[in-house]
């Protein structure tokens, strides 16, 4: 058994990412970071990444190579504001899942740490 299985497998990650991108689509500033008109491809990539990270299928690496998250985000100004917007929509998406408290805490902790690690540009006050 893996965390992927414990979380509920594909359906849980599909719901998480679907709900997340529902929020992104309504957030004009965050939405501007996604160059594709259709968010579907970004949704697929994030779902595959999460599935692989948590012990599921390796489809992400099979199709895209090593995740290299920081490198893949370099072209985008990920400011503290963008991080906080991302986290708002992601945490709202987590709220839609019916996870055991320990699993929910583990997921929220990972998402928070990942979001903070990807900040690559200062906010207006110069702080990261």
Domains of the chain, residue spans: 3-117
Q: List Cβ neighbours of 83 (8 Å cut-off, separation of 6 or more).
A: 115, 116, 118, 119
d(CA 78, CA 66) in angstroms, rounded, equals 20
Q: Specify the DSSP element, H or E, that contains 47.
A: helix 40-53
pLDDT at 67 over 90: no
pLDDT digits (tens, 9 = 90+) for 1-56: 999 999 999 999 999 999 999 999 999 999 998 877 899 999 999 999 999 999 99
Q: What's the fold here for domain 3-117? A: Globin-like (1.10.490)
Element (H, E) at 83: helix 80-95
Q: How far apart are CA 92 and CA 27, in angstroms?
A: 13
* Whether this model's pTM surpasses 0.75: yes
Determine the Cα–Cα distance for residues 85 and 62; give it in Å rounded to an integer.
30
Confidence of residue 92 (pLDDT cuts 50, 70, 90): very high
Q: Looking at residues 67-92, what average pLDDT do you find?
A: 93
């Amino acid at each position: 058994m893996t965390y992927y299985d414990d979380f509920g497998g594909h359906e849980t990650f599909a719901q998480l990412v679907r709900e997340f991108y529902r929020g992104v689509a309504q957030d004009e500033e965050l939405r501007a970071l996604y160059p594709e008109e259709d968010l579907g491809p970004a949704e697929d990539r994030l779902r595959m990444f999460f599935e692989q990270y948590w012990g599921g299928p390796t489809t992400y690496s099979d199709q895209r190579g090593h995740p290299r998250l920081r490198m893949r985000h370099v072209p985008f100004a990920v400011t503290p504001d963008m991080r906080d917007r991302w986290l708002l929509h992601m945490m709202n998406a987590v709220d839609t899942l019916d996870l055991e408290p320990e699993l929910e805490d583990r997921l929220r902790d990972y998402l928070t740490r990942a979001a903070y690690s990807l900040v690559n540009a200062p906010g207006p006050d110069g702080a990261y």
